[in-house]
Amino acid sequence: MMNVGYTNVADNYRDIKEYTKAKKFYNKALIIIKNLKEEYPLIHIFYNNLALCYKSEGNYEKSKKLFLKSLEIRKRIFGEEDSSVADSYDSLAHVYQLQKEGKLKAEELFIKALEIRKKNLENNHPDIGLSYSNLAMFYYPFDVEKFYKYMHKAIEILEEVLPEKHIDLVNAKKIIRMVEEKNSIHSLRYCNNIWYRPNE
Residue 36 maps to which CATH number? 1.25.40.10
Does one domain contain both 13 and 94?
A: yes
**Other C-beta atoms lying within 10 Å of the C-beta of residue 44:** 25
How high is the pLDDT of residue 32? 78
Does one domain contain both 33 and 132?
A: no
How high is the pLDDT of residue 30? 83
Given 98, 120, 142, the domain boundary residue is: 120
Q: Can you give the residue range of the structural domain that contains 177? A: 122-200
Given 100, 120, 140, the domain boundary residue is: 120
Does one domain contain both 95 and 149?
A: no
Does one domain contain both 9 and 88?
A: yes
How high is the pLDDT of residue 189? 58
Given 120, 153, 181, the domain boundary residue is: 120
Does one domain contain both 129 and 33?
A: no
Does one domain contain both 42 and 73?
A: yes
Contact predicate 117/131, CB 8 Å: yes
Does one domain contain both 182 and 83?
A: no
Domain count, the chain: 2
Can you give the pLDDT of all 200 residues of the chain as single tens digits? Answer: 556 678 889 899 999 999 999 999 888 888 877 666 655 677 898 899 999 999 999 999 999 999 999 999 999 999 999 999 999 999 999 999 999 889 899 999 999 999 999 999 999 999 999 999 999 999 998 899 999 999 999 999 999 999 999 999 999 999 999 888 865 455 555 566 656 555 55
**CA atoms lying within 13 Å on the CB side of residue 13:** 19
Does one domain contain both 158 and 127?
A: yes
Does one domain contain both 88 and 126?
A: no
How high is the pLDDT of residue 28? 86
Which pTM does this prediction carry? 0.83
Does one domain contain both 113 and 131?
A: no
Does one domain contain both 5 and 36?
A: yes
Does one domain contain both 78 and 162?
A: no
167-173: long-range contacts (C-beta < 8 A, 24 or more apart)?
A: 168/126, 168/129, 168/130, 168/133, 171/195, 172/129, 172/133
